[in-house]
Amino acid sequence: MAAPPILLLQDIRLGFGTTPLLAGATLSVSPGERLALIGRNGSGKSTLLKIAAGLAQPDGGSRFVQPGATLRYLEQEPDLSAYANVLTYVEAGLAPGDDPYRAHYLLEQLGLTGEEQPANLSGGEARRAALARALAPLPDILLLDEPTNHLDLPAIEWLEGEIGAMRSALVLISHDRRFLSSMTREMVWLDRGTTRRLARGFAHFETWRDEVLEQEEREAHKLDRQIAREEDWMRYGVTARRKRNVRRVAELAGLRQQRRERRAAQGGVRMAAAEGEASGTLVIAAEGIGKSYNGRAVVRDFSTRVIRGDRVGIVGPNGAGKTTLLSMLTGVLAPDEGEVRLGTNLEMVTLDQKREALDGALGVAETLTGKRGDQVWVNGQPRHVIGYMKDFLFLPEQARTPVSALSGGERGRLLLARAFATPSNLLVLDEPTNDLDLETLDLLQEQIADYAGTVIVVSHDRDFLDRVCTNVIAWEGEGRWQDYPGGYSDMVAQRGHGVRARAEAGKPAATTPKPAAKPDAAPARKKLSFKDQHELDTLPAKMRKLEAEAARLREILADPGLYTRDRARFDKASELLARSEASLAEAEERWLELEMLREDAAG
């Protein structure tokens, strides 16, 4: 027999405007239960969690918490302004008899000292302080709203171990699939104001959701057919028994009302990246690059090559220099030493993690159109901005909503909408998964998989990295970075551990060391011949000449009247451009082959 609930919400109703946000939602939490609260952005998950925490009042329904049960809630935007410092704030969440040392321990694990002043905290630091306050008393019930936001990979993996060792019941909202799968054992799906529950792990969510929606479609089809039959009877049926007829008319009115009140499942996000011309085969070549700040090496002697079609992930703890490395690889920041060479014909679009590219004063439609009319150009075709907004789950009435009034998830979708409307062959994504719901994440992953260009992504989302990356560049400590083939799990398998915190980077991996190979067992390295070395030395100049020639021909062909004015010149320039681009691609392939041979020979 199941234990009685220590937290129970029944028939919770709450409305904003004409459409109810919550329409009879329920939530039952028994001791030790681990629940994932799942739903789209804007479905009311955070609101339901606030009601469970007693911080918001519904329009109707009931809330019960077992007397004596302790409950702690992690909100997305905590307020520390009433406290002298972070330690005081965390200790204020302790109950009599709780261990005061635990506050110090949690703050240290989350990268805080406790002496920080609330006025000087960043959003991420305030969130980590709030997480320490929620975990410190070892409560009976933990209500966590996006606890992994602003945490790096070492902190996320530490948090998994910390919560896993606790006996608290848990209700968790998160976009991190790996975290949801490891932390929860049952699901509560909030959809169109009501809740459904399944006593299975998060790995079964998508199959369950699809089955529910397919059943709804079948029932809706049956309802429509029944209404059609009743309408046909009203027009052509026998009217001998007036009493029966009145009843059937009333039944038909009820069916029509049922159809009007039926809340259809919200449409999905439709993403299609506007792809530019193909880039050269070699997209980025970095040779021995380095960067230091105040005497500390952020990047040290790093070399890599990014080939067209690669999906490169960059991982490391906060402060390791991921964004610095990304900026150097994309030519935004010059290295202190070494060289970065960008390939030909690159059209780069960047999605920054701080959403700084958005102007808070502009409306949604103005942001997408650039304040130029009411159309968005996608893949060379005009789209009305309202229709394009709907593809990313924005309502028509949000067209003039200022960006500053949007939620974090809505701003993330707006950035994606703008990025995918811009022609590109290189997508640079810095923490693209922040604040996105699971269905939008699925579609983003599919879009990246179908994208014909190259993708570089910085992310702390392990599942996302596994799904999209062909190779991962990982921080090894003291400014050293290493390129691993495969996704995040492949990287862990190769190096024996995940991403470590900066303070632990120098520690050896907790794996059994392999015996060193004997000197005479090493394969002989092939050396560059004189001819190969000469070719390697002269290829860069040849590639620059071919790039300049291709640019000159593109400029000629850019003349819109050339085709009608001088057809022969147009055909000749087109032929020469095709030859130049083919020669350039061949030269890049040969240069890459010789460079790899040179590195192998150097050992």
Separation of alpha carbons 441 and 433, rounded Å? 7
Task: List the beta bridge partners of residue 156.
Answer: none
Q: Of 325, 295, 315, 290, which is closest to residue 501 (Cα–Cα)?
A: 315
DSSP per-residue string spanning 475-519 = EEETTEEEEEES-HHHHHHHHSS-PPPGGGTTSPPSSPPPPPPPG
Amino acid identity at 595 = E
Separation of alpha carbons 447 and 424, rounded Å? 13
Q: Are strands 186-191 and 194-198 parallel, antiparallel or unpaired?
A: antiparallel
Q: Is 401 annotated as contributing to ligand binding?
A: no
Task: List the beta bridge partners of residue 189.
Answer: 38, 196
Q: Of 57, 52, 55, which is closest to residue 69 (Cα–Cα)?
A: 52
Q: Is 572 annotated as contributing to ligand binding?
A: no
Q: Is 42 annotated as contributing to ligand binding?
A: yes
Amino acid identity at 58 = P
- Rounded to 5 degrees, what are φ and ψ at 238? -75, 140
Separation of alpha carbons 211 and 454, rounded Å? 35
Supply the DSSP symbol for 520. G
The two tokens of residue 466 are 């596994």
Q: Is 373 annotated as contributing to ligand binding?
A: no
Q: Is 67 annotated as contributing to ligand binding?
A: no
3-state secondary structure of 207: helix
Q: Of 74, 27, 21, which is closest to residue 187 (Cα–Cα)?
A: 27
CA gyration radius for the chain?
A: 29
The two tokens of residue 163 are 């919560």
Cβ atoms 70, 141 nearer than 8 A: yes
Q: Is 40 annotated as contributing to ligand binding?
A: yes
Separation of alpha carbons 327 and 324, rounded Å? 5
Q: Is 111 annotated as contributing to ligand binding?
A: no
* Residues in CB range of 410: below 8 A, 6 or more apart: 41, 42, 394
Distances (CA, A) of 86 to 74, 114, 144: 15, 5, 19
Q: Is 294 annotated as contributing to ligand binding?
A: no
Within a 10 A sphere around the Cβ of 148, how many other Cβ atoms?
A: 25
Strands (E) in 133-279, as ranges, are 141-145, 169-173, 186-191, 194-198
Q: Is 363 annotated as contributing to ligand binding?
A: no
- Count how many residues are written for the chain: 603
Q: Is 62 annotated as contributing to ligand binding?
A: no
DSSP per-residue string spanning 102-169 = HHHHHHHHTT--S---GGG--HHHHHHHHHHHHHTT--SEEEEESTTTT--HHHHHHHHHHHHH---E
Cβ atoms 273, 451 nearer than 8 A: yes
The two tokens of residue 360 are 């808070």
Within a 10 A sphere around the Cβ of 346, how many other Cβ atoms?
A: 19
Q: Is 149 annotated as contributing to ligand binding?
A: no
- Displacement of CA 77 from its chain's centroid (Å): 20
Q: Is 39 annotated as contributing to ligand binding?
A: yes
Q: Is 423 annotated as contributing to ligand binding?
A: no
Q: Is 47 annotated as contributing to ligand binding?
A: no
Separation of alpha carbons 84 and 81, rounded Å? 8
Separation of alpha carbons 269 and 443, rounded Å? 7
Binding residue ranges for ATP: 39-46, 316-323
Binding residue ranges: 39-46, 316-323
